[in-house]
């Protein structure tokens, strides 16, 4: 049969008989009408696929070039290794010859002294033997006349020999030892030379920090580069080939410096000398890192708004429910949508929920936040004195979320309500969740879960019901008071010390282990830290309230990186927690919402 028709639902050609048979209820059109459409669609797909060939060719060329460079560098390194050890062998032979020559010279000098002493002793010995033999010959065989004639001469000679000093004590010694410390040299030789390389790739490596967002004329600006491998894993060794170039508005080069932290992160510093747009180019092994080049506008110091430090001197802790937070927003000119486009940092924001108000899905100075394995997010709304939770949350798409809320019930005669009314502890949490027993606490944590669970103070008393046991008393207790707490997989207690700008770590018995952080805006510094969480690898994530950022540290407190919040900057972040799939949700109190950011562990 001749194929004359086309069934659109079945996407197949057919004959007239089939149109009246199994396809009689389907939409059919003449085959010649759709052939050209399909040809055009296929041609469009073909062109789209073919357009990728130049990109692939360029990628093949680049990767091949790197592969060739790697082989050439290996051959150069082999030659350098050979030259190094040849030079060492030559040096060893030279040292051997010098030691033998010194040995011969020292031995010869000692022998000369000893030989002179031997000559003197043998001469004295010969004089005594000859005088004694002559005297004995005269005594035993000489006549009386002969004895009298030689008596005076022999007596004087014997008296002289009897009183003569001879070098009877050795004028030298026989010590001529060879001492060498071979163990240290052997170890040095065994460890001689090191091969330096990293697995860092430019397209996964990221830059973060205030220096990417704004700069002040005449003042150093800094940013941090965190190197990552092809899988997005952190590279923990330094010495990568990182080039930082800053181009001023007039096209000239500005002052720029790279500091290697030797842990896979790098501190980049530059100082703008004039107003205007600066271009920051960051190359890793000759390739631009993610988002590079960046554009940054430098402004005069007089145009910069008051810093969070200046504001914090005038207000109390942002988590004090009766005091309105007054942290200053950064100027819109630095964070306008136009600037984001000119400075393309990858958008790490996943979603944002909430706005200011008193209705469901609205917040006023929210502080605590927690998550569950089922995807539920629970938020403590301080000024509205209620807890709200979001249902059916998932990572990967933006949009609104279903919000439910519950307000704290009125106090019963001034006493804490029964456990079933406790507004800060969701009923779905396990019974062994422990609450902090710290005056003025703002967080609670679950031992052995490794996840931070934050909440705000409730006038009716958090954790009043039976079941949870309190965390151990911490010694020494952060003063004037801790803010948030988390527990890692070792059951160590991690506490943010808001007023002392640090994070303190205690063991399971509450004994102090160590602290990290200081007051400032640099990497690893804080301006009043608040929320804290611990991921599955033991890394510590800290909300830096005064600096409006989130920092990441390893389990020992060493700075690793920032979480990229540039797409929707924070404004006084408070509690934070990790979702079941490892991302970060944070209570953005100044913006009266909570946000989820991508967190690559």
**pLDDT score of 588 more than 80:** yes
* Domain spans, the chain: 201-299, 346-391+480-600
CA torsion angle 512 467 403 545 (round to 10): -10
CB 375 within 8 Å of CB 579 = yes
Highest mean pLDDT among 11-20, 304-313, 538-547: 538-547
pLDDT tens string 119-148? 999 999 999 999 999 999 888 888 888 888
CB 216 within 8 Å of CB 302 = no
pLDDT class of 75 with cuts at 50, 70, 90: very high
pLDDT class of 327 with cuts at 50, 70, 90: very low
As a whole number of angstroms, the distance between CA 313 and CA 446 comes to: 34
**pLDDT score of 81 more than 70:** yes
**pLDDT score of 526 more than 70:** yes
Q: Which residue has the higher pLDDT, 459 or 287?
A: 287
| Local structure of residue 323 (DSSP, 8 states) | S
Q: Which residue has the higher pLDDT, 263 or 431?
A: 263
Q: Which two tokens stand for residue 445?
A: 């944590």
Mean pLDDT throughout 303-307?
A: 63
Q: Give the rounded percent of residues in the chain with a pLDDT score beyond 90.
A: 40
Residue closest to 265 by CA, chosen among 542, 561, 540, 554: 561
Bridge partners, residue 561, by sequence: 552
pLDDT class of 443 with cuts at 50, 70, 90: low
Lowest mean pLDDT among 122-126, 307-311, 442-446: 307-311
Residue closest to 554 by CA, chosen among 488, 467, 493, 491: 488
User: What integer pLDDT is reported at residue 26 of this predicted model?
Assistant: 78
Beta-strand pair 559-562/549-553: antiparallel
Computed over every residue of the chain, the mean pLDDT equals 78
On the question of a cis peptide bond just before residue 419, with omega within 30 degrees of 0, the verdict is: no
pLDDT class of 577 with cuts at 50, 70, 90: very high
CB 496 within 8 Å of CB 503 = yes
As a whole number of angstroms, the distance between CA 193 and CA 580 comes to: 45
Lowest mean pLDDT among 54-58, 380-384, 486-490, 544-548: 380-384
**pLDDT score of 441 more than 50:** no
CATH topology of domain 201-299: Immunoglobulin-like (2.60.40)
Mean pLDDT throughout 33-47?
A: 85
As a whole number of angstroms, the distance between CA 188 and CA 211 comes to: 42
As a whole number of angstroms, the distance between CA 42 and CA 50 comes to: 12
Residue closest to 342 by CA, chosen among 352, 331, 351, 333: 333
Lowest mean pLDDT among 4-18, 351-365, 542-556: 4-18
Kindly give the residue spans of alpha helices, DSSP state H, lying in 164-305. 182-190
CATH number of 346-391+480-600: 2.120.10.30
Bridge partners, residue 282, by sequence: 244
Q: Is 280 helix (H, G, I), strand (E, B) or coil?
A: strand
Burial bucket for residue 443 (CB in 10 Å: 0-12, 13-18, 19+): buried
Do the domains 201-299 and 346-391+480-600 sit in the same CATH topology, yes or no?
no
CB 164 within 8 Å of CB 157 = no
pLDDT tens string 89-122? 999 999 999 999 999 999 999 999 999 999 999 9
**pLDDT score of 241 more than 90:** yes
Instruction: Indicate the helix (H) or strand (E) that contains 120.
Output: helix 52-141
**pLDDT score of 406 more than 50:** no
User: What integer pLDDT is reported at residue 303 of this predicted model?
Assistant: 75
- Count the neighbouring beta carbons within 10 Å of the beta carbon of residue 222: 18
């Amino acid at each position: 049969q001749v194929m004359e028709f086309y069934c659109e639902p079945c996407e197949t050609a057919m004959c007239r008989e089939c149109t009246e048979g199994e396809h009689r209820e389907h939409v059919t059109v003449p085959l010649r009408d759709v052939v050209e459409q399909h040809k055009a669609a296929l041609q469009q797909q073909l062109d789209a696929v073919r357009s990728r060939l130049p990109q692939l060719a360029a990628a093949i060329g680049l990767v091949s070039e790197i592969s060739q460079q790697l082989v050439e560098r290996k051959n150069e390194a082999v030659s350098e290794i050979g030259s190094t050890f040849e030079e060492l062998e030559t040096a060893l032979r030279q040292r051997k010859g010098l030691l033998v020559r010194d040995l011969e010279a020292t031995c010869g000098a000692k022998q000369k002294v000893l030989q002179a002493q031997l000559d003197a002793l043998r001469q004295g010995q010969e004089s005594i033997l000859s005088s004694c033999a002559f005297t004995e010959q005269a005594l035993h065989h000489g006549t009386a006349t002969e004895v009298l004639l030689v008596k005076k001469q022999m007596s004087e000679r014997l008296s002289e020999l009897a009183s003569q000093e001879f070098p009877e004590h050795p004028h030298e010694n026989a010590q001529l030892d060879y001492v060498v410390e071979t163990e240290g040299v052997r170890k040095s030789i065994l460890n001689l030379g090191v091969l330096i390389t990293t697995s860092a790739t430019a397209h996964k490596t990221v830059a973060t920090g205030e220096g990417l967002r704004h700069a002040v004329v005449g003042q150093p600006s800094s940013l941090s580069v965190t190197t990552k491998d092809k899988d997005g894993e952190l590279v923990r060794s330094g010495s990568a080939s990182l080039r930082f170039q800053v181009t001023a508005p007039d096209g000239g080069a500005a002052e720029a410096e790279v500091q290697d932290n030797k842990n896979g992160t790098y501190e980049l510093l530059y100082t703008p000398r004039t107003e205007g747009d600066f271009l920051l180019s960051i190359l890793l092994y000759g390739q631009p890192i993610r988002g590079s080049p960046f554009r940054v506008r430098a402004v005069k110091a007089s145009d910069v708004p008051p810093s969070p430090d200046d504001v914090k001197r005038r207000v109390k802790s942002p988590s004090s429910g009766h005091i309105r937070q007054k942290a200053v927003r950064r100027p819109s000119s630095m964070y306008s949508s136009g600037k984001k486009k000119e400075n393309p940092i990858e958008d790490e924001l996943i979603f944002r929920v909430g706005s200011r108000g008193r209705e469901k899905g609205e917040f006023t100075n929210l502080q605590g936040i927690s998550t569950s394995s089922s995807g539920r997010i629970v938020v403590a709304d301080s000024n509205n004195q209620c807890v709200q939770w979001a249902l059916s949350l998932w990572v990967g798409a933006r949009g609104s979320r279903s919000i439910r809320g519950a307000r704290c019930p009125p106090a019963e005669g001034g006493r804490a309500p029964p456990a079933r009314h406790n507004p800060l502890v969701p009923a779905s949490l396990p019974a062994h969740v422990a609450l902090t027993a710290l005056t003025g606490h703002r967080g609670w944590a679950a031992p052995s879960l490794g996840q931070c669970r934050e909440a705000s103070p409730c006038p009716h008393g958090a954790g009043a019901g039976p079941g949870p046991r309190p965390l151990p008393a911490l010694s020494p207790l952060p003063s004037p008071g801790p803010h948030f707490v988390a527990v890692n997989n070792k059951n160590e207690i991690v506490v943010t010390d808001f007023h002392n700008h640090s994070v303190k770590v205690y063991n399971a018995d509450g004994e102090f282990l160590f602290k990290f952080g200081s007051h400032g805006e640099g990497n690893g510094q804080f301006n009043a830290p608040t929320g804290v969480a611990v991921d599955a690898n033991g890394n510590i994530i800290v909300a830096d309230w005064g600096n409006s950022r989130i920092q990441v540290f390893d389990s020992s407190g060493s700075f690793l990186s920032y979480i990229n919040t540039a797409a929707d900057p924070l404004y006084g972040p408070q509690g934070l927690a990790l979702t079941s799939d490892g991302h970060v949700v944070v209570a953005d109190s100044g913006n009266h919402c909570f946000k989820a950011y991508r967190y690559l562990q």
